[in-house]
Amino acid sequence: MRFIAAAALTLALAACGQPGGDAKNDAPPAAKAAAVQEYTPEQNAAAIAALPAPLNTANYENGRRVFAQCRSCHVVAANGRNGVGPNLHGVIGTTTGGHAPGFNYSPAMRNANLTWDFATLDRYLERPMAVIPGGRMAFVGLRNPDDRRDVIAYIAVESQR
N residues, the chain? 161
Q: Measured between alpha carbons, how far is 158 from 161 in angstroms, rounded to an integer? A: 5
Q: Using CB under 6 A, which residues numbered 92 to 111 contact ligand HEC?
A: 96, 99-100, 105-106, 108-109
In the region spanning residues 125 to 154, those forming contacts with ligand HEC, defined by CB under 6 A, are 125, 132, 135-139, 142, 151
Per CB under 6 A, 63 contacts ligand HEC: no
CB of residue 62 to ligand HEC, shortest distance in Å: 12
Decide if residue 58 touches ligand HEC (CB under 6 A).
no
Q: Is 75 in the site for ligand HEC (CB under 6 A)?
A: no
Least separation in angstroms between CB 69 and ligand HEC: 5
Which of these, 76, 97, 155, lies nearest to 122 by C-alpha position? 155
What is the identity of the amino acid at 77? A
Q: Which stretch binds ligand HEC (CB under 6 A): 1-9, 13-21, 51-59, 88-96?
A: 88-96
In angstroms, what CA-CA distances link 17 with 7, 9, 20, 23, 90?
15, 12, 8, 11, 49
Site residues for ligand HEC, window 18-47 (CB under 6 A)? none
Query: Distance (Å, rounded) from C-alpha 136 to C-alpha 158?
Result: 24
Q: Which residues of 66-78 are buried (b: 16+ CB within 10 A; e: fewer)?
A: bbeebeebbbbee
Q: Residues in the site for ligand HEC, rule: CB under 6 A?
A: 69-70, 72-74, 84-86, 88, 91, 96, 99-100, 105-106, 108-109, 116, 121, 125, 132, 135-139, 142, 151
